[in-house]
Amino acid sequence: MQINIKIMNDQTILLGEKENKILVRIVVFIFGLLCIFTAGWWTVFLIKYPDNEKIFWAGSIFLFLFGIYQIYSGLGYAKRYLKKEGENIIIRQNSLLPAKKIRRDNITYLEIRPFDMVIHLNNSKRIRIKPGLKYPVQGQRIMGFLSEYAEINKIKIIYKNESL
């Protein structure tokens, strides 16, 4: 499994263990196609019998949208990651939302706890990164990745033993 991808000075680390495995991505893609096919079949059934409840239409729409998301994820567009890009760090914690680009001078300090890391910004906002307990090795890699970024860019690091 490849965790760090080096391109000149840039580095990327994935926030999830399973997101890079090709077999998982193929299964997710096929499942998405099945969801869309089932939603289409169900819609044809609903058109044939127009006296159905609205909840059946909602279920068909949900299944179709879920299938689209599964295909989106199976093609690799839903990856969650941290990326160092020069003095900037790019964070994508949610597979549906766009990545956040944070400049080095917007970061006040980095707080590292046993089960999460918090990036404190100048505008009193915080970005919390929770790698979870399921993959402790991945959590250590993420912690090392952020610590290295902070040291290189001379960002204050605070270690705490309690978690939020």
Return the domain boundaries, the chain: 5-16+80-159, 19-74
For the full predicted model, state whether its pTM sits above 0.75.
no
Distance CA 2, CA 106 (A): 30
Three-point CA angle 50, 71, 145, nearest 5°: 140
Contacts of 144 (CB under 8 A, 6+ apart): none
Specify whether the backbone of 132 is left (phi greater than 0), alpha (psi in -120 to 50) or beta: left
Question: What fold is seen in the domain 5-16+80-159?
Answer: PH-domain like (2.30.29)
pLDDT in tens, the chain (164 residues): 344 433 335 688 877 766 567 888 899 999 999 999 999 998 888 888 777 777 788 889 999 999 999 999 888 888 888 888 888 898 888 888 888 898 888 888 888 887 788 888 888 888 888 876 777 778 888 888 888 888 888 888 888 876 55
| Rounded CA separation 131/134 (Å) | 8
Residue 9: closest CA among 150, 149, 104, 157:
149
The token pair that represents 96 in the structure block: 């549906």
